[in-house]
Every structure is written in C-alpha cells, then in structure tokens.
Structure 1
Amino acid sequence: MLKLKHVHHIAIIASDYQRSKAFYCEILGFMLLSEVYRAERDSWKGDLALNGDYVIELFSFPNVPARVSRPEACGLRHLAFGVEDVAAAISALNIDGVNCEPIRIDPLTGRRFTFFADPDDLPLELYEA
C-alpha cells in the first residue's frame, strides 16, 4: 500500500491572478509565501499558506477555458475549510461582499456548513469543525 503522508498542496488556476490572490489573501486570510512570474509561460505562480502550512499553489495562464462546476461535473467537487463558527465566518465574508448559501446541517455529523465561490466560481465550503 502507498503510504501518503499528507496533502501537500492544491493547485488553482485563476483567470485573473491579482484578483484571486487578493481574494485568498485579503478575504480568506492566506499568506503569500512566495511569488514568481514565469515569462516563458506568461504565468504567475504564488504559494499560499494557511496558519503557516503551505496549502494552495495559485497560477495564472493566458486564455484559460472556464471549468464546468454547475451542474456538478466529474472531478474535484469543492475545497472545504474548517471553521469554529460557520455563522460568524459567513458574516465576515458578507462584509467583504462574498455571498454564501444558507447554512445547512450535515445529516451524518450534525455539523453546520455552507458554500460560497471564489472569483472564478470555484465552489468553496465552510464546515464547522
């Protein structure tokens, strides 16, 4: 059996790198660890950390096609973040102009959760952990 240690990172391609970097850093609270412009690809790459842990590799590429996310398509469904209080997190996102779906209750765990989207409509979830 393969012995994976942990998830190393999640790669996200943004249609507007600066807008997505601001969303993930200024609104969601990620920290930009490093950033490089790759001229040969006309592409930015930023490494983002959450609470000191490297989590997201944020890319830009010219002329990227839109990804189908709704109706739900095969592939990565969404990215979920654990929070202490879903209602408080929704309030903080609303202040920054980010709309969230109504709070739902996970029927298996009884925990509250909601969904919202990044600037490219990538589904993101807040799950009360």
Structure 2
Amino acid sequence: MQLKDPLLKTHHTAICVNDFERAKAFYIDFLGFTLEGEMDHRDEAALGEVVGLPGAVIRWAMLAHGPHRIELFKYYTPQGDTQARRQCDFGYSHFAFQVEDVDAVYEQVIKAGYKTTAPPRSLRGGRSRVIYVTEPEGAITEFIQLSPDA
C-alpha cells in the first residue's frame, strides 16, 4: 500500500558518531556543509520516545548542503555499538553524492588524508564511475559520476 499523500522531498540523513568534532569537521570543512543548528546534552523526553531510547542524552547538529541535510548524533546515554559497519551488514550502508569528476574528488580525498576502499572504478558498463570514502569513523560516503548517457 502506498502513502496517501506523496512525499515532498528528501530532508536529511542521520549519522550517529563517536567523535562529534571530527565528524562535524569532515562534513563542514571537507564537504562544504554549513551548520544550521547544534545542541549539547539534549535530553528532552520526547526525543527519547521518538528514537525508542527513553532517557537518551545526545549531542546533536544539523548540517546543510543545498536542499539536503546531515543530522549528526552522539549518544551520551545509552552507549551504543562503536564499531564501524561493513557494507554487507544489515541496515543502511552508505549515502552518495553525485559529482562531475570523481577522479578529481579522489585526488582531493587523498590530499586531505581520507581513505577510500579503492581508487575510482567504472561500473555498470561505464555508465558510472565511483569511489567509496571511509569517513573518520568508518562510515562510507560514495561519490558517483554518471556518464552523460546514463
């Protein structure tokens, strides 16, 4: 069954992090997001109810780039699993940004000291060229260049 009212647009992607400052710097200083809002030790009861973790206490920020946002969370309480997820692990695995020149992005990634899972690779018979960047805490961000006829 489909939703009765259509979705308006994509709003944000939420990411839970261990080192809040390092993650925030990746999105702001390297990817060019801007800070829309930030709160430390956010503990409103409704938040714990919404996320299904009563008593949750978090550090929070909303970062924007064009129409999309990244919502950063650092949980003080409860303490969660701090290990990075593999792409084959259950649940969301990564998100992607479309770019004009993935090879140029790759050079910037390497120059900035970030790691990739592999150098840029062409996929789908040359219709796309991609890299997976390992963020400071191990999460993956994909950069994808689409061929004009893709």
User: When the two structures are superposed, what TM-score results if normalisation uses the length of structure 1?
Assistant: 0.88
Decide which moves more: 82-91 or 106-115.
106-115
Q: Does the residue aligned with 1:43 lie in a helix, a strand or coil?
A: strand
Q: How does 1:1-129 map to 2 (within 5 A)?
A: 1-2=2-3, 3-40=6-43, 41-51=56-66, 53-62=67-76, 63-67=79-83, 69-70=85-86, 72-100=88-116, 101-107=118-124, 110-129=127-146
Distance apart, 1:121 and its partner CA: 0.6
Q: Is the 8 A contact 2:84 2:137 kept in 1?
A: no
Distance in 2 (CA, whole Å) between partners of 1:109 and 1:91 is 20
User: When the two structures are superposed, what TM-score results if normalisation uses the length of structure 2?
Assistant: 0.76
Backbone CA RMSD of aligned residues: 1.8
Per-residue CA deviation, residues 67-88 of structure 1 (Å, 9 max, x unaligned), is 5522611210211111110011
Q: Structure 1 residues 34, 90: CA separation in 2 closer, same or farther (over 3 Å shift)?
A: same
For structure 1, the residue ranges without an aligned partner over 5 or more in a row are none
Aligned length: 128
Q: Is the 8 A contact 2:134 2:141 kept in 1?
A: yes
Distance in 2 (CA, whole Å) between partners of 1:127 and 1:58 is 23
Distance apart, 1:104 and its partner CA: 1.3
Q: Structure 1 residues 94, 68: CA separation in 2 closer, same or farther (over 3 Å shift)?
A: closer
- Structure of larger gyration radius: 2
Q: Does the residue aligned with 1:61 lie in a helix, a strand or coil?
A: strand
Distance in 2 (CA, whole Å) between partners of 1:104 and 1:81 is 15
Q: Structure 1 residues 39, 33: CA separation in 2 closer, same or farther (over 3 Å shift)?
A: closer
Distance in 2 (CA, whole Å) between partners of 1:19 and 1:121 is 12
For structure 2, the residue ranges without an aligned partner over 5 or more in a row are 44-55
